[in-house]
């Protein structure tokens, strides 16, 4: 049987000095699984869309970074064009986070269509419902790009419904996967780490848009809790959060752990009583998958794919709350802390759900179906 040749254009954390991100984690999980199995149906040729951090680069979006991004996109487009000519793929799988990256997507999809290559655009962002309401330049450009696609992959049901209502019939829902690496590590660590009662955990960049101010303020009045924040944090935000924590009289109940290795993050998730994720906006956050796999009870904002991941409308395996709402954070955390049986039940259901719905072998079959379909 002839293999379907897929030109796989995505970040996948290839090489040193890479700026990490959700799409890169997804790409690495897919390629690691592809390299670990023998699949007679497809052949992947990866092209890295990782962005390298330059020495001294700040985490802002200044003109220099914008210029560097344009240069980098131009170089990647030339690389993909050459690969189309030499590799002669059957399918172009292109990952996008929208914004100005849609210009790159438009150019590459046009190139593929001219060469009669099947086009698959994978939307790695959860802002589509918001963009439709705004009807701004990004929404108009997105619709233009989507009309060039043979298949459109989305990772949440809200986006699926919005695009189907735009009369796009070629939309497919495929969730992000839990990687083999995480599955193996969880099995290795299982039973070796005890949970710390009333210990709360946040993992992610410690930014205002991640809901950390509502998190600290919401937990000030919850008795006997300790909160650990794992992730990169600026001195300014650290100082502001310390001031909020002082409302309790002392700030020691909140600890800032900084960036950690992936293995250490998993250990934190296994030791926490409740994982709290109050982000303002998300797509399909990998950290939720990891918390589910680690058997941690979860309280998270109802944004992006999170309500689907936690099966909120059916047999819920976590608690969701409104974003940007301090009292909602407090109520969700209190609900889990004060209901040990509910907390245990939800954590158990979350583990079963992530392994049965989101593990990489299951998601891989869905991707192959899109490529061959």
The whole-model pTM stands at 0.89
- Which residue, among 315, 302, 314, has the nearest Cα to 348 in the 3D structure? 315
Strands ordered across the beta sheet of 91-96: 42-48, 4-10, 91-96, 118-123, 151-154, 171-173
Mean pLDDT of 120-146: 95
What local confidence, expressed as pLDDT, does residue 69 receive?
Answer: 63
Model confidence at 62: pLDDT above 70: no
CA distance 279 to 268: 19
Q: Give residue 211's Cα distance to chain centre.
A: 16
Mean pLDDT of 251-266: 94
Q: In b/e form, how buried is each residue of 219-257, taking b as 16+ CB within 10 angstroms?
A: bbebeebbbbbbbebeeebeeebeebbeebeeeebbebb
Q: Which residue has the higher pLDDT, 288 or 67?
A: 288
Model confidence at 53: pLDDT above 70: no
Model confidence at 267: pLDDT above 80: yes
Q: What are the tens digits of pLDDT across the range 159-169?
A: 999 999 999 99
Which runs of consecutive H residues, i.e. helices, occur in the chain?
Answer: 22-36, 63-87, 101-114, 128-134, 137-146, 157-165, 180-189, 212-219, 235-245, 262-271, 286-293, 306-309, 326-337, 340-357, 360-372
Domains of the chain listed by start with CATH number = 4-177+359-372 (3.40.50.2000), 180-357 (3.40.50.2000)
Model confidence at 178: pLDDT above 90: yes
CA distance 306 to 289: 10
Q: DSSP states of 128-161 as a string?
A: HHHHHHHT-HHHHHHHHHHTT-SEEEESSHHHHH
Task: State the number of CA atoms in the 13 A half-sphere of 310 facing the CB.
Answer: 28
- Which residue, among 324, 323, 295, 292, has the nearest Cα to 308 in the 3D structure? 292
Supply 17's token pair.
Answer: 């000095």
pLDDT category at 280 given cuts 50, 70, 90 is very high
State the chain's mean pLDDT as an integer: 92
Lowest-confidence region among 31-40, 113-122, 208-217, 233-242? 31-40
- What is the DSSP pairing of strand 171-173 with strand 151-154? parallel
Model confidence at 120: pLDDT above 90: yes
Q: Give residue 153's Cα distance to chain centre.
A: 15
Q: What are the tens digits of pLDDT across the range 197-247?
A: 999 999 999 999 999 999 999 999 999 999 999 999 999 999 999 999 998
Q: Is the CB of residue 253 less than 8 Å from the CB of residue 224?
A: no
pLDDT category at 55 given cuts 50, 70, 90 is very low
Model confidence at 188: pLDDT above 70: yes
- Which residue, among 307, 249, 251, 253, has the nearest Cα to 279 in the 3D structure? 307
Model confidence at 305: pLDDT above 80: yes
Model confidence at 20: pLDDT above 80: no
Q: Measuring CA to CA, how many Å separate 311 from each of 276, 316, 344?
A: 17, 5, 16
Q: Measuring CA to CA, how many Å separate 29 from each of 20, 351, 371?
A: 13, 19, 17
Mean pLDDT of 50-67: 55
Mean pLDDT of 167-174: 96
What local confidence, expressed as pLDDT, does residue 19 receive?
Answer: 58
Mean pLDDT of 144-164: 95
Cα dihedral sign for 69, 177, 284, 159? Answer: positive
Q: Give residue 126's Cα distance to chain centre.
A: 10
């Amino acid at each position: 049987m002839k293999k379907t040749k897929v030109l796989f254009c995505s970040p996948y954390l290839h090489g040193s000095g890479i700026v990490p991100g959700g799409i890169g984690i997804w790409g690495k999980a897919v390629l690691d699984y592809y390299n670990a199995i023998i699949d007679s149906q497809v052949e992947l040729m990866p092209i890295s869309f990782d962005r390298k951090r330059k020495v001294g680069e700040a985490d802002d979006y200044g003109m220099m970074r914008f210029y560097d991004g344009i240069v980098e996109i131009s170089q990647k487009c030339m690389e993909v064009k050459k690969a189309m000519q030499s590799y002669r793929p059957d399918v172009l799988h292109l990952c996008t986070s929208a914004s100005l990256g849609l210009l790159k997507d438009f150019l590459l999809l046009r190139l593929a269509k001219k060469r009669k290559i099947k086009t698959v655009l994978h939307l790695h962002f959860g802002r589509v419902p918001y963009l439709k309401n705004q009807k701004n330049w990004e929404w108009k450009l997105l619709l233009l790009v989507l009309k060039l696609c043979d298949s459109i992959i989305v990772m949440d049901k809200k986006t699926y419904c919005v695009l189907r209502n735009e009369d796009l019939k070629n939309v497919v829902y495929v969730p992000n996967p839990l990687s083999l690496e995480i599955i193996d590590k969880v099995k290795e660590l299982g039973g070796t780490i005890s949970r710390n009662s009333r210990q709360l955990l946040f993992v992610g960049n410690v930014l205002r848009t991640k809901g950390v101010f509502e998190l600290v303020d919401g937990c000030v009045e919850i008795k006997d809790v300790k909160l650990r924040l794992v992730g990169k944090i600026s001195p300014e935000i650290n100082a502001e959060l310390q001031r909020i924590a002082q409302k309790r009289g002392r700030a020691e109940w909140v600890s800032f752990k900084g960036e950690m290795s992936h293995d250490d993050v998993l250990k934190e998730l296994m030791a926490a009583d409740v994982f709290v994720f109050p982000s303002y906006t998300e797509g399909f956050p990998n950290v939720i998958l990891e918390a589910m796999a680690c058997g941690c009870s979860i309280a998270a904002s109802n944004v992006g794919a999170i309500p689907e991941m936690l099966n909120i409308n059916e047999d819920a395996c976590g608690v969701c709350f409104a974003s940007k709402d301090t009292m909602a954070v407090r109520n969700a955390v209190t609900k889990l802390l004060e209901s040990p049986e509910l907390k245990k039940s939800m954590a158990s259901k979350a583990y079963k759900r992530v392994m049965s719905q989101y593990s990489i072998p299951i998601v891989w079959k869905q991707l192959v179906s899109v490529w061959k379909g």
